[in-house]
Amino acid sequence: MTADTHCPYCALQCGMTVGAAGEVAPREFPTNRGGLCQKGWTAGSLLSHPDRLSAPLLGGRPVTWETALAHVTSSIREIQDSHGPDSVAVFGGGGLTNEKAYLLGRFARVALRTSQIDYNGRFCMSSAAAAGNRAFGLDRGLPFPVTDLDDAEVVVLAGANVAETMPPLMGHLGSARLVVVDPRRTPTAERAVASGGLHLQPVPGTDLVLALGMLHAAVESGAVDTAYLGARTSGFDDAWRLATQWWPERAERVCGVAAADMRTVVSWLAGSSRRYVLTARGAEQHAHGVDTVTAWINLSLALGLPGTAGSGFGTITGQGNGQGGREHGQKADQLPGYRRIDDPVARAHVAAVWGVDPASIPGAGRSAVELIDAIGTPGGPRALLVFGSNLRVSAPDAARVASKLDALDLLVVADFLPGETAGRADVVLPVAQWAEEEGTLTNLEGRVLRRRRALDPPPGVRTDLDVVADLAAGLGCGGFPTTPRAVFDELRAASAGGPADYSGITYDRLDAGEALHWPCPSTDHPGTPRLFLDRFAHPDGRARLVPVDHVPAAELPDDAYPLRATTGRVLVHYQSGAQTRRVDELALVEPDAFVEIHPDTAARAGLADGVWARVESRRGSVLARVRLVLSARPDTVFLPFHFADDRAANLLTNPALDPVSRMPEFKVAAVRIHPVSGDSRYSDYRHSQAVEAVAT
């Protein structure tokens, strides 16, 4: 007996089958076409992992569910009675199903009556979402199916390393000439060069300058689609007024990419009929990430790509439900259906579904980093409930995050493995994994997918929906549904008429195999796989070009910290690594933290390949093994962010925030590097243990 479901990792949401014993096999599905990456192939091993949580923990000791829940609810009452509703906060995740994200948002605003809810998608897609909303009037990662890329002639990947982050996507890019914008010579960049494309290697934090230089090149070469701009957009003149100062040669002096290469890429895009520009975290995770994505949108609009058959602009969503996770209410400023929480009409609609007074729904709360920063301050949260996030590793300036978590009166974590955040919790609640539950997720192309149960959770484990409903009941707020289908039906009603309208999507339609992309406003509507073909989502139907200009990174190198550090993912690990670091086959490949550095830079620092180094920023330091990389920029080092404790890359990163999206600046931090000794034994031991485990 097997269940057809989807991979628990990235937003590609590859199709797979799972057996009753947790065995995994790929299945034919449009995104992966019968393939899986290493993470997907090994996902089933975590279902029976010996570290699996199977009983609630209170103060680190196993207790009954009744005891754990009673402690949580009584503590919440006591804290809120003394300090008000906003003294309790909720932190969600982009890997939660649509049902969980929706119910968590309702729980925060109805049962807890708090405005303090946000999620780790703030670290992932928030800049692209803000840029898409202001340019197109609507944010959906890819406004077209992934399969549209199959026939692409040219694809620009700005800040995307899909060969490692979502390898099956590379199968859709086989016919395209690739242009990869990345400070690193990643496997994706190698593929681009090998296939006759280009790798553009800008100084970290200058992607916006590169996009402005290319827009200038488009104008000067006559590549701009003036008919498209006149018929379908507004704002070009204002955007060009700022871009006019960024002729390619000037842009080259700032970003380090040759002016000739800028002009070449523009000519490729202008001379092709099927062309796409796609952005990802490398363009977004900056203190000015919204403007950076906007600059790429402006270039795409000037060339006539968005909303055109066979061409387009899109953003590659990262987390498994990064799209749906931000649409249904776990983001600080949003209500279900991608409605704004400050919109009186939206509040009235959702309040009617919830059966509450619209005035009782709190307003917008703090964004993720600001929520964490507020802990321990007057009026800040004193209790935090975490679902689906390991923020001790994933949030910037991780040492500060640890101190903030320790300052809480109550930290509650719902998880299935004892991650680094759960290790600091007062209460840990064991919850079901992906193959043990039903639900829906929305992948990177806006397609709603069915997650199906293949096996039951272990004894003593509950679903997140049960936990949320139990907590709500314990707080005197009953009526929270616990079956995924019932929650989804409520979500459908709450989203009806909103920008992300799911009201026409049903479990029955999904189970019948219908490919349903939102918006889908009625049960006889076919869904919307391709947005913007006729009009954009602004009231006048036009897309907006928004003027943007270069602002330097929030922190620049100096004599004390002469290098730039940037962070990212590697092939075998995912997000904070709490799951993949426990898979022996994956840990064998990448057992510990490393730092990529140019040989000349390493020599000046007294470093050799394979030795341990300490990388330091103004916020903390990290231990990492040196990898000499000839293609690395001499001014830049790279660290993966999947490791914990003194190997956590986010000990270095800067919590400076984008003024619009509140995205922190993960991609640029000023650092210095020097050798250390005596720190390798622990890593060597871990590596030998992984080898032994795989061998046996």
Among 585, 524, 617, 645, smallest CA distance to 37 is for: 585
Helix (H, G, I), strand (E, B) or coil at 341: coil
Pairwise CA distance, residues 550 & 205, whole Å: 9
User: Does residue 239 form part of some domain?
Assistant: yes
CA atoms within 13 A on the CB side of 506: 8
Residue with tokens 């799911």: 502
Q: Of 477, 511, 545, at which residue does a domain stop? A: 511
Pairwise CA distance, residues 396 & 296, whole Å: 25
Counted residue by residue, the chain has a size of 696
431 and 461 in contact (C-beta within 8 Å)? yes
In a shared domain, residues 367 and 277: no
Residue with tokens 């680190």: 60
In degrees rounded to 5, what are phi and psi of residue 199?
Answer: -110, 115
User: Does residue 527 form part of some domain?
Assistant: no
Q: In what order do the strands lie in the sheet with 61-62?
A: 61-62, 57-58, 427-430, 410-415, 383-387, 88-92, 117-119
CA 78, distance to chain mean position in Å, is 34
**What region does 267 belong to: left with phi over 0, alpha with psi -120 to 50, or beta?**
alpha
Q: Of 315, 334, 369, at which residue does a domain stop? A: 315
Pairwise CA distance, residues 350 & 332, whole Å: 15
29 and 15 in contact (C-beta within 8 Å)? yes
Pairwise CA distance, residues 381 & 657, whole Å: 20
Residue with tokens 């060069």: 193
Pairwise CA distance, residues 470 & 465, whole Å: 8
Task: Give pLDDT tens digits for 232-242.
Answer: 999 999 999 99
User: Does residue 288 form part of some domain?
Assistant: yes
Both tokens of 86, joined, read: 């906003």
Torsion of CA 476, 328, 330, 546, to 10 degrees: -150
Both tokens of 99, joined, read: 């049902």
Q: Measured in Å, how far apart are the chain's first and last C-alpha atoms? A: 28
Both tokens of 237, joined, read: 């003149």
The per-residue pLDDT for 125 is: 86
DSSP single-letter state for residue 670: E
Pairwise CA distance, residues 78 & 58, whole Å: 18
In a shared domain, residues 286 and 425: no
In a shared domain, residues 474 and 598: no
In a shared domain, residues 414 and 265: no
The per-residue pLDDT for 124 is: 87
Torsion of CA 54, 60, 64, 68, to 10 degrees: -110
Range of the domain at 239: 130-315
User: Does residue 539 form part of some domain?
Assistant: no
Provide the residue type at 653 as one letter: T
User: Does residue 461 form part of some domain?
Assistant: yes
Q: Report the CATH number that the domain containing residue 335 is assigned in CATH.
A: 3.40.50.740
Pairwise CA distance, residues 271 & 258, whole Å: 20
In a shared domain, residues 46 and 175: no
In a shared domain, residues 137 and 201: yes
In a shared domain, residues 451 and 592: no
Pairwise CA distance, residues 489 & 498, whole Å: 15
Q: Report the CATH number that the domain containing residue 654 is assigned in CATH.
A: 2.40.40.20
Q: Of 511, 530, 555, at which residue does a domain stop? A: 511
DSSP H helical ranges for 256-355: 259-270, 281-284, 289-302, 322-325, 344-354
Both tokens of 449, joined, read: 């997918």
Q: Is the peptide bond before 519 cis (omega within 30 degrees of 0)?
A: yes
Pairwise CA distance, residues 427 & 60, whole Å: 8
Q: Report the CATH number that the domain containing residue 199 is assigned in CATH.
A: 3.40.228.10
User: Does residue 681 form part of some domain?
Assistant: yes
673 and 597 in contact (C-beta within 8 Å)? yes
666 and 648 in contact (C-beta within 8 Å)? no
Q: Say how many domains are in the chain.
A: 3
Provide the residue type at 131 as one letter: A
What is the value of pTM for the model shown? 0.95
DSSP H helical ranges for 50-97: 65-83
User: Does residue 621 form part of some domain?
Assistant: yes
Residue with tokens 């992984």: 690
Beta strand ranges found along 374-468 (DSSP E): 383-387, 410-415, 427-430, 439-442, 448-451
**pLDDT profile of the chain (696 residues), mean per 10:** 93 96 95 96 95 96 98 98 98 96 98 97 92 96 97 97 96 96 97 96 97 98 98 98 97 98 98 97 95 98 97 93 91 96 98 98 97 96 97 95 97 96 97 97 97 95 98 96 97 98 98 97 98 97 98 96 97 94 95 97 97 98 98 97 96 96 96 80 42 41
In a shared domain, residues 299 and 435: no
Distant-in-sequence, close-in-space partners of 71: CB < 8 Å, separation ≥ 6: 58, 427
Contacts within 8 Å (CB) and 24+ apart, 402-405: 404/372, 404/373, 404/375, 404/376, 405/375
**What region does 536 belong to: left with phi over 0, alpha with psi -120 to 50, or beta?**
beta
Pairwise CA distance, residues 214 & 209, whole Å: 9
Both tokens of 539, joined, read: 């009231």
**What region does 609 belong to: left with phi over 0, alpha with psi -120 to 50, or beta?**
beta
Which helix H or strand E contains 19, and what residues bound it? strand 15-19
In a shared domain, residues 239 and 267: yes
What is the DSSP secondary-structure string of 163-206? Answer: HHHSGGGGGGSTTSEEEEE-SS--HHHHHHHHTT-EEE-PPTT-
User: Does residue 416 form part of some domain?
Assistant: yes
In a shared domain, residues 492 and 570: no
DSSP H helical ranges for 58-144: 65-83, 98-106, 126-136
Pairwise CA distance, residues 50 & 32, whole Å: 30
In a shared domain, residues 325 and 310: no
Report helix angle 259-270 to 207-220, nearest 10: 60
Rounded alpha-carbon distances, angstroms, from residue 431 to 57, 216, 305, 387: 12, 53, 44, 10
In a shared domain, residues 237 and 298: yes
402 and 449 in contact (C-beta within 8 Å)? no
Helix (H, G, I), strand (E, B) or coil at 543: strand
